[in-house]
A = this chain, B = another copy of it.
């Protein structure tokens, strides 16, 4: 699905990531950890084509990122659901409409998916706030809405950047369970997080590989995690 081949990235100064190679197979489940500022968000951005590697090759759905047109990127984003660390919304439309936005821009019939939307919102504990505008949501509610928006198109790949940083333990378990279910349906999942407790708990339900960014390299974490 997504292949990085000796990829390096720098924001202009020194290299932040070097020599990163990774193949995300369909149906795999990955965690991504590393200290704050290590480059987790940068790595995810390389994976969904928001950044172009400064060296090496990144391939998304067998297309070289460098050769993708702007429309190719837009189309690929309908197959990759992303939860951003700083979740942003259209502040003038309701939360439910924001969650349904990917359906709308993909030209899908929103009314036909209404049931799915309602189920998803209620699973994320957002039903009662469906009509609120995003600025009226609490921090955790925003994060849950961002996750709901990322999976509404039932994409092939889900990349989540700290999807549980602002929610309590029970709710984070529910959210992870949702991702685990999607993974069982064959979706590829990658979650960036530094909540080691969460990672440990999840590993009891699914066979997850834990990647760690340290010293600019991507490494497979030991079995202790």
Contacts and interface: CB of A to CB of B under 8 A. Distances in A.
A110 interface: no
B162 A35 contact: no
Given A165-B165, A197-B197, A35 B170 contact: yes
A17 to B, nearest CB: 13
Contacts of A168: 33-36, 194
A34 B35 CA distance: 27
A124 B194 CA distance: 17
Given A166-B85, A170-B35, A41 B194 contact: no
A88 to B, nearest CB: 11
A49 B166 CA distance: 23
B136 A11 contact: yes
Query: Which of A41, A140, A167, A197: most chain B CB closer than 10 A?
Result: A140
A5 interface: no
Contacts of A170: 35
A214 to B, nearest CB: 11
A136 B37 CA distance: 11
Nearest to A170: B35
Nearest to A86: B139
A171 B196 CA distance: 14
A162 B195 CA distance: 14
Contacts of A37: 125, 129, 138, 140-141
